[in-house]
Structure 1
Amino acid sequence: MQRRKLLAGIGGMATLTAAGCLGNEEQGTTLWHDFTEGEQEDLEEQVATFNEGREEELNVEQVPEIVDQLDTAIPSGEGPETFAWAHDWVGTYYDRDFVYDASDDLSIDLDDTFTDAAADAARWEGGVYGLPYAAETTTLMYNKDLVDEAPETLDEMVDVMEEYHDPEGNMYGLSCPPADPYFISAFVQAFGGRFFDSETEDTHIDDDEFVEGVELLRDRIWPYVPQDPDYDAQVPVFADGNAPFAINGPWEVGGFRDGGIDVGLTSMPDIDGGDPTPYTGIQLWYFTTNLEDAPEAEVETAVEWAEWHSTNEDAILSNAENHGFIPVHRDYTDSDDLGEDVAAFAETVSMGVQMPAHERMDQVWNPVESGLEQVFNDQATPQEAMESAAEEIRGRWE
């Protein structure tokens, strides 16, 4: 789960609409999220519009450390009726009885409304446990004041990184959490390797193809990032104008621009002998098991909110324009009104593979991250680190 905590860690901690204290019994229908500040502002406006004229209003909380809070709240019958997160929790939360099957409550048809990938992401074991509202991935960003045009190949990107990389002068070639599997997935999966295969229910990080991707990462990417791998240490490097490139997601674009960086977005660069293959995600409004015994008005409010937000044109277009959210509603996936940012993210999404939602995937992230850190710190070869991580992962499953 750590890689999702990194994504979430930049958001503010203010509550939009008071809905009760965390850990206490809450009244009414409650939504939890961990959006960034700019995303919060738009969400607040959208919820206010949705609530107009409703007797049962939707209450909203911005929740820090949402992973831990959900783990504590839902088993005790507290917490939200709906929350926002990527689709890869569906299998785990189904297995833990955290999510509610809303198949009989929906008034929209998933397959007619959303892309195939988005509709599939909301389903698990024959049920519908959320509704999709956007796709996301990380992509290559560049500072237009330092880079004239986006690199088309990794070789071109490395040439520019080499030109600017000067740690003694507080300049670096790239801002990117160097050992976070989600952020560097485009490189380690470039030669056909995969973190996990849902069909075989096994990890493949010890395969030659994956190890070759780690070697690429070691040789062509890691030499140009700051030595502190922490997300909070990497982001300011690009935000302060001290790197020509960043690999990050749509949640950071607005903040970079507000800070004065003229950010350009482009797809991941071509890799000689391989294909950049990033992990992609579908953002869902999850339905929690708090709805199972809830009053009908609360069920209607949670479901109607998810339907409204995922199909409302103003919400879809403003999320795309302001935050780079990639629409998954069939009527808007090819819209000319979405802008260059969304086009860049959408191009990278087309290169990628969807994160597995299988519950076993939860045991993959941290051992892989630890193994990558060992390689990053010259404590192990890629082969040694990935074999050790694979052994740890399979041991956890047992």
Structure 2
Amino acid sequence: MKRQAVLLLSTLMAFSLAACGGAPSSKTAAEKTEAATQKTAPASDAAKGDERTKITFINGFTGGDGPFMRKIVDGFNESQDQYVIEQLQDADHYTKFKSDHFDMLIIHADWISTYHALGLLREVSDLYDKAGISFDNDFHPITQSYAKYDDGVFAFPLDLYAETFYYNKELVDIPPKNYDDMIALRDKLDSVNTGIYPIGIPLTGDQQWAWMTALGQSGCNWVEGEHIKMDTEEICDAFMKVHNLIYKDHLSAKGLGDQDHYNTFVNETADNASVKSAVCLTGPWNYTAAKEILGDNLGIGVLPQLYGDTPCVPAGGHTFGVSAEVTDQKKLDGIAAFMKYAYQPDVMLNWADSGQAPIHLATMEKVKDNPDKYPVANVNYGIFDDAMILPAIYNIREQVKYVNSTVWALVLQEPELTRDQLMAELKNATDIAIELSEQ
């Protein structure tokens, strides 16, 4: 591994930047899970659990999807008497995975490349074999782009969550399919005078997906070797399209803040109370809350082509990862048994119930058979072939930070933005990415 000289430093950076929080606790993983209210070893099985092989599992499902993962783990614990999975759901799960030596974790698809390079994940082909699962045949092909490397397979894919197009049926008769349709919607809404705009472009909150949409739909190539490359004319053009959407064509109100692409859609913004948005591009995790507010007026559609002719939908994914520190064969057998249990379609449907879109093919077919029950997943399944996940290169989350903050703020907050100003920051973003890729 070419980064041996700074391996420890890189590891610390990766975990410290993954989540906010205080210094790591000195408690062990088992002590953590015993104390957590989200612990999923059933109390009634305490005595039996003491006799079984314990497997510690941490994830960041602290929101509405948490109970659904707990249901899957509970079901496994109750289904057999050899193993018990002790689960902790914690917002700082990346930090605590390393500091407290958990056996398994949920790892985002775009983190796998960095964790793989740092040697933190175990190769799991043997566990696939034990579980009777085929990585090549049982999952959507997009998983090949982030879970499989030259030296093996390093994750069990769980889901793919894609940028999702929501619209307010009270304001939108026919969902817009392209930029011209958005212009027509602006004119119908009389946006400048009414304060009701076709869409909201936020300063923060899904901003990474916003610029990935612009670059992807414009057909831009923004990766060179092991780093992102932003300082090209075509990428400058793509970012200027976003700027013009706001300041030239007035499809979005200017000056929107954190999460205001969603807040203006559901009329829950304090800073921009006079502004409304007719459509919203955000994640599937907002579906339940939006449905509660808009009810039958909430529509779901295919992402419109706003910036070009290339189909592209930004996406991410959750996967199960196994720590490279796990060598106990009983634990490995237990992890394989859990995967065999979890990837039964009737079990994996619990994850679809959370609003997520399982990427296990047999489960996908069951979800497709129930479009009314799983509306978001069924729409997103139609775009998986066009999904764009952050590239599987080392330190990718760090590489895009400058784009997410400095470049994006310039595009959204500078009304008189020039190409020279933008290109200077795109050059900075590229230089920083090159340096991060070489650490």
| TM-score normalised by structure 1 residue count | 0.81
Q: Deviations over 1:334-390 (max 9, x none)?
A: 553141422321233332333212114233211111212122111664323212221
Counterpart position of 1:329:
360
Q: 1:263 to 1:82 in 2, by over 3 A?
A: farther
Q: 1:359 to 1:196 in 2, by over 3 A?
A: same
| Count of residue pairs brought into register by the alignment | 372
Equivalent residue letter for 2:347: A
Q: Please give the root-mean-square deviation of Cα atoms over the aligned residues, in Å.
A: 3.2
Structure 2: stretches of 5+ with no match in the other structure: 1-13, 21-35, 42-52, 269-275
Counterpart position of 2:231:
206
Listed as ranges, the matches of 1:154-193 within 5 Å are 154-161=179-186, 164=189, 172-178=197-203, 180-193=207-220
Match of 2:393 among 358, 369, 373: 358
Q: Does 1:104 align with 2:126?
A: yes
Contact 1:142 1:263 survives alignment (8 Å): yes
Counterpart position of 1:49:
75
Equivalent residue letter for 1:392: I
Counterpart position of 2:280:
246
Counterpart position of 1:11:
none
Q: Deviations over 1:248-305 (max 9, x none)?
A: 111111122133443222121124643242333332111112313xx33322333332
- Counterpart CA distance in 2 for 1:167 and 1:57 is 59
Q: Does 1:94 align with 2:116?
A: yes
Counterpart position of 1:319:
351
- Counterpart CA distance in 1 for 2:197 and 2:347 is 37
Counterpart position of 1:304:
337
Q: Deviations over 1:100-129 (max 9, x none)?
A: 122223322211222222245322232222
| TM-score normalised by structure 2 residue count | 0.74
Listed as ranges, the matches of 1:116-265 within 5 Å are 116-161=141-186, 164=189, 172-178=197-203, 180-197=207-224, 200-220=225-245, 223=250, 224-225=252-253, 227-231=255-259, 233-240=260-267, 242-261=276-295, 262-265=297-300
Q: Deviations over 1:174-204 (max 9, x none)?
A: 345446223431112222213324xx32423
Contact 2:71 2:350 survives alignment (8 Å): no
Moved more, 50-59 or 160-169: 160-169
Q: Deviations over 1:29-50 (max 9, x none)?
A: 2222222532112122221111
Equivalent residue letter for 1:230: D
Contact 2:54 2:84 survives alignment (8 Å): yes
Contact 1:176 1:234 survives alignment (8 Å): yes
Identity of counterpart residues, as a percentage?
Answer: 17
Equivalent residue letter for 2:86: N
- Counterpart CA distance in 1 for 2:316 and 2:18 is 11
Could you say what secondary structure the match of 1:317 adopts? helix
- Counterpart CA distance in 2 for 1:259 and 1:243 is 14
Q: 1:28 to 1:195 in 2, by over 3 A?
A: farther
